[in-house]
Structure 1
Amino acid sequence: MEVFQAKIEHLEPIAILFDQYRVFYRQASDLATAKIFLQERLQKHDSVIFVASDGQIVGFTQLYPSFSSVSMQRIWILNDLFVVATHRRQGIAKLLLTAAKQYAQETGAIRMTLATQISNLSAQALYESLGYTRDEEFYHYSLRVSE
C-alpha cells in the first residue's frame, strides 16, 4: 500500500471516495459537486489530501490549515478520513494518519485536531491508539450561518 500527497491528476478517483464519504455521513450523493469542491481545494491549496493506493485509490484523509492564537503556531485540522468498505481493518487508516502526522511535523505544526461522531467507537479506538486525546477541557460549538 502506497500513501502519497494527492495532486490535481488524482481528482477523479478522490472525488468518488469523497462522495462516498459524504454519503456515509447521510448526505445525498453529488459526485459533480464533490469533484468541483475538491478541485478548488487542490487548485487554491486550501487543503492537503493524502491518499492510499494499492493500484487504485482506496482511502484518503484531508487536512485544513489553521492556527492557534494562544501558541501562535500552525495547527492542522484533520477534517476527513475515509477508507472504502472493502479495504477497512487492514491498517490503511493508520497509514493515512501517520502520513498526516509526518506532514504536520514537517510543516512545523504544534498539533493536529479532529472530530468524530460519538458513536464511531472504532475510529475513537484508532485515534487513541495513535496518541490522540479527547478534549475534556473545552466544549466546542458551531453556529449555522446559512440555510
Structure 2
Amino acid sequence: METYQATIEDLEGVSNLFNSYRMFYENPSDLEGAKKYIKERLKNEESVIFVVKNNQKYVGFTQLYPVFSSISMKKSWILNDMFVDLEARKLGIGQVLLQKARAYALKTDAKSIVLETAPDNFAAQKLYEKNGYIRDTQFYHYELSLI
C-alpha cells in the first residue's frame, strides 16, 4: 500500500472516493460535483488530502481543514472526511490514514485534530478511540443552517 498527500494528479481517484463517501452518508451520486469540489480544494490549497492506493487503486482518503484557536494561538486540523472503499475495509487503511493525519498535524505544530462522526458509526468510533481521540462531553455543538 502507498499513502501520500494528494495533488491535482490524483483528482480522478480522490473524486471517485469522495463521491462514494458522500453516497455513504445518503447523498445522491454527483461525480462531476465531487470533481469540482476536490479540484477547488486542491487548487486553492484549502485542505490537505491524504490517499491510500493499493495496487494502483485508490482505496481510502482523508481530508483535513485548518482552523485556528484564538485561545491557544495555534492551528488545529478538522478531520472532516475519511472514507475507505467497501472492498478494502478491514485492511487497516483507516488506521494508516489516522496515523498520516497525526504525523502531519505534529509536523505543522498543530494543537489538535478534531472530528465528528455519526452516533451510529460504531466502527469509526472504536477506531478513533483506539487512536486516542476522546469524545467531548464538555461542550455542545451548535449549527446554523444557511441552506
- TM-score tier by shorter-chain length is over 0.9
Residue of structure 1 in register with 2:11 after alignment: 11
Residue of structure 2 in register with 1:22 after alignment: 22
Matched residues, number? 146
What displacement does 1:70 show?
1.3
Under a length normalisation based on structure 2, what TM-score does the superposition of the two structures give? 0.98
Residue of structure 1 in register with 2:82 after alignment: 81
Where has structure 1 moved over 4 Å in runs of 4 or more? none
Q: Distance in 1 between matches of 2:71 and 2:122?
A: 31
Amino acid at match of 1:137: Q
3-state SS of 1:39 partner: helix
Q: Distance in 2 between matches of 1:5 and 1:56?
A: 15
Q: Distance in 1 between matches of 2:112 and 2:39?
A: 26
String of CA shifts for 1:14-51, please: whole Å, max 9, x gaps. 10110000000010100001000000000000000000
Under a length normalisation based on structure 1, what TM-score does the superposition of the two structures give? 0.98
- Structure 1, gaps ≥5 residues long: none
Q: Distance in 2 between matches of 1:48 and 1:3?
A: 13
Alignment of 1:114-133 (within 5 A): 114-133=115-134
Residue of structure 2 in register with 1:105 after alignment: 106
- Structure 2, gaps ≥5 residues long: none
Q: Distance in 2 between matches of 1:88 and 1:143?
A: 34
3-state SS of 1:67 partner: strand
State yes or no: 1:92 paired with 2:87: no
Residue of structure 2 in register with 1:140 after alignment: 141
Aligned-CA RMSD value:
0.6
Residue of structure 1 in register with 2:62 after alignment: 61
3-state SS of 1:105 partner: helix
